[in-house]
Structure 1
Amino acid sequence: MDLDDQMRRYFGTADLATVPATAMAAGIEHARVDLGLERDRSRRFALWTLLFMLDAAPDLDVAFKDPADRDAARQLMELSERLTPDED
């Protein structure tokens, strides 16, 4: 699942800066519903990652039953923190 494809699916564009607030909220809700329904581990992880990037991801214990998936998500979170510039 390509990130640009996910953004186009849920928000109508790959440029999230152009998405109005109401459409952003609706897209996030749609993605959260799909995450809850998705059974494929890879697709679930991709959806969770998109939601994480939008600061809308559910807690790891809610999103992932498999400990390996939770560990992978934690690694992604840690990597993201390292790549995010400090705001002083």
Structure 2
Amino acid sequence: MDLDDQLRRYFGTADLSAVPPQALAAGIEKMQVDLGLERDRARRFALWALLHTLGAAPDLDIAFKDEADRDAARNFMDLAEGSGLPPSSD
């Protein structure tokens, strides 16, 4: 999944600073719905990671049934924290 493609898909632009607050909220809601429907593990993880970056990711035990996926998500969260990405509300 290409990040710019995902941003354009959910927000209409790859520049999040250009997205009005209501459109941002609507895009996040759509992503959360798609996360719940997605069955491909890699696509599901990519959606969750973007939601995490936006501070809107569901808890790991809700998002991932597989322990290995939860561990990968924890690793992502640690890496994101070390990189200066904003923390999620998890």
Scaled by the length of structure 1, the TM-score of the pair is 0.94
Taking the aligned partners of 2:38 and 2:50, their CA distance within structure 1 comes to 14
Q: Does 1:30 align with 2:30?
A: yes
Taking the aligned partners of 1:64 and 1:56, their CA distance within structure 2 comes to 15
Pairwise CA distance, 1:83 = 1.3
Larger Rg: 1
Following TM superposition, the consecutive aligned residue runs of length 4 or more in structure 1 with deviations greater than 3 angstroms are none
Taking the aligned partners of 1:2 and 1:49, their CA distance within structure 2 comes to 12
Can you give the 5+ residue segments of structure 2 that lack an aligned partner in the other structure?
86-90
- Larger relative contact order (Cα-Cα within 8 Å, sequence gap ≥ 6): 2
Partner of 1:4: 4
Q: Does 1:13 align with 2:3?
A: no
CA RMSD after TM alignment: 1.0
Taking the aligned partners of 1:43 and 1:81, their CA distance within structure 2 comes to 22
Partner of 2:68: 68
% same residue:
72
Taking the aligned partners of 1:66 and 1:29, their CA distance within structure 2 comes to 24
Instruction: Report how many residues are paired.
Output: 85
Pairwise CA distance, 1:84 = 1.2
Output the amino acid matched with 1:17.
Answer: S
SS of equivalent residue, structure 2 residue 72 = helix
SS of equivalent residue, structure 1 residue 55 = coil
Output the amino acid matched with 2:9.
Answer: R
